[in-house]
């Protein structure tokens, strides 16, 4: 299980490192890095299944990759024997999804929004594979009620599916956090809201964001469970999520999860917001890099060797290099103003 979580975390890390490099060379105008969020997002993606709804933000590519791709299909020679998968893959073509995701990041015609929407601001639906993914809008917190609405649709149809949504600690200050969570609680919707608390919203520390000790305790005010978890520990996050998902599927309503993470990067690459983080605090976060932690754990358990870790790192990096290069070579969208504003 740890090996599986690691493989997706590594793929996620290499994904970000590739775009960070492209940003530095000027090949990309903007990048929001999810470095440091992988343990939480991959574990959350591991807790959902076919037919569940994933509603993500800009640091959740770990959950997206975990949901979209089957690592055994990408690296059949590294994973010749079936892993004891935490969850079954959705089916469909993993590599093609990865390629289209790269096209989406680069605003290419072949991306999920045909270049009309930036990076993670897209929806991707594959009804045949039970893939339901709603992306973000820029107004943080706004997707909380929408994600709860996906859960409402499941409840109306009598399905035992769940909807999970990520937000940062900053968006807990919005009205939609309160309104969405409150309605979800009153209606016992199968909804899980995961706060990725990296303690900095752009340049604003938690001391200027909220006055309570922790955000999970807000759940008490909605009459639902609220759980704090170490967001750098994927096994701990997975356990919390599996409990929440089980509860939601049983019709018992939503759960609020607060995963504590470290801020490893600026709000976006190239802004200087990381300068606001005191250096000893930043050091604490970097010393607890979830990637380093899981690799140390794997090594100490004797499951894998250092060479194996190196191999999967290199293979992940080269696969991502390959799909990104393919995406770069894809055509830019044809200039047009006639994309339909209304559904016909």
Residue closer to another protein (CB basis): 153 or 243:
153
Q: Which is nearer to another protein, 182 or 242 (CB)?
A: 182
Distance CA 341, CA 161 (A): 30
Q: Which is nearer to another protein, 123 or 301 (CB)?
A: 123
Q: How far is the CB of 270 from another protein (least distance, A)?
A: 25
Q: Which of 135/262 has CB closer to another protein? A: 135
300, 292 contact by CB (below 8 A): no
Q: Are 190 and 249 in contact (CB under 8 A)?
A: yes
Query: Whole-number minimum distance, CB 291 to another protein, in Å?
Result: 32
Residues that bind another protein (CB under 8 A): 53, 112-113, 116-117, 121-123, 125, 132, 134-135, 137, 139, 142-157, 163, 175-176, 178-180, 182-184, 186-187, 339-344
Residues 6+ apart with CB under 8 A from 323: 95, 98, 99, 102
Distance in angstroms (rounded) separating the CA atoms of residues 72 and 8: 11
Helices (H), ranges, the chain: 2-24, 38-47, 61-68, 71-74, 94-105, 143-157, 175-186, 234-249, 279-287, 290-301, 306-328
> Nearest distance from residue 127's CB to another protein, in Å?
10
Beta carbon of residue 81, minimum distance to another protein (angstroms, whole number): 37
**Residue with smaller CB distance to another protein, 125 or 220:** 125
Give 183 or 241: the residue with its C-beta nearer to another protein.
183
Six-digit token string for 58 = 């800009």
Minimum Å gap between C-beta 67 and another protein is 16
Q: Select 154 or 285, whichever has its Cβ closest to another protein.
A: 154
Rounded CA-CA distance 162/112 in Å is 23
Taken in order 83, 86, 90, 93, is the CA torsion positive or negative? negative
Nearest to 251 by CA among 162, 134, 128, 178: 162
Q: Residue 317 burial by CB count (10 A; 0-12/13-18/19+): exposed, middle or buried?
A: middle
Number of residues that this document lists for the chain: 344
Least separation in angstroms between CB 128 and another protein: 15
Measured from the CB of residue 222, what is the shortest distance to another protein in angstroms? 11
């Amino acid at each position: 299980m740890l090996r599986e979580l690691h493989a997706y975390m590594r793929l996620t890390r290499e994904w970000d490192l590739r775009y960070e490099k492209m940003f530095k060379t000027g090949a990309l105008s903007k990048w929001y890095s999810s470095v440091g969020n992988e343990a939480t997002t991959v574990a959350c993606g591991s807790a959902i299944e076919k037919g569940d709804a994933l509603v993500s933000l800009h640091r959740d590519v770990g959950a997206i990759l975990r949901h979209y791709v089957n690592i055994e299909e990408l690296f059949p020679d590294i994973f010749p024997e079936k892993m004891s998968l935490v969850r079954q893959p959705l089916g469909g073509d993993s590599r093609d999804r990865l390629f289209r995701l790269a096209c989406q990041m680069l605003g290419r015609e072949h991306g999920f929004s045909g270049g009309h929407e930036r990076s993670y601001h897209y929806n991707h639906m594959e009804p045949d594979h039970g893939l339901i993914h709603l992306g973000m809008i820029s107004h943080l917190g706004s997707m909380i009620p929408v994600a709860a609405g996906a859960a409402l649709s499941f409840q109306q149809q009598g399905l035992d599916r769940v909807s999970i949504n990520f937000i940062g600690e900053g968006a807990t200050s919005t009205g939609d956090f309160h309104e969405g969570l409150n309605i979800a609680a009153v209606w016992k919707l199968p909804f899980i809201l995961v706060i990725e608390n990296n303690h900095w919203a752009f340049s604003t520390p938690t001391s200027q964001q909220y006055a309570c000790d922790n955000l999970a305790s807000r759940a008490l005010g909605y009459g639902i469970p609220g759980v704090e978890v170490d967001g750098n520990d994927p096994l701990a996050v997975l356990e919390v999520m599996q409990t929440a998902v089980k509860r939601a599927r049983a019709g018992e309503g939503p759960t609020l999860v607060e995963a504590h993470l470290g801020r490893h990067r600026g709000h976006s690459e190239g802004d200087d917001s990381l300068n606001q983080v005191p250096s000893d605090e930043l050091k604490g976060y970097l010393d607890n890099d979830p990637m380093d932690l899981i690799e140390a754990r794997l090594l100490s358990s004797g499951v894998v060797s250092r060479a194996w870790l190196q191999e999967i790192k290199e293979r992940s990096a080269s696969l991502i290099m390959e799909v990104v290069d393919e995406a770069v070579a894809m055509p830019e969208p044809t200039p047009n103003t006639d994309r339909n504003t209304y559904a016909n």
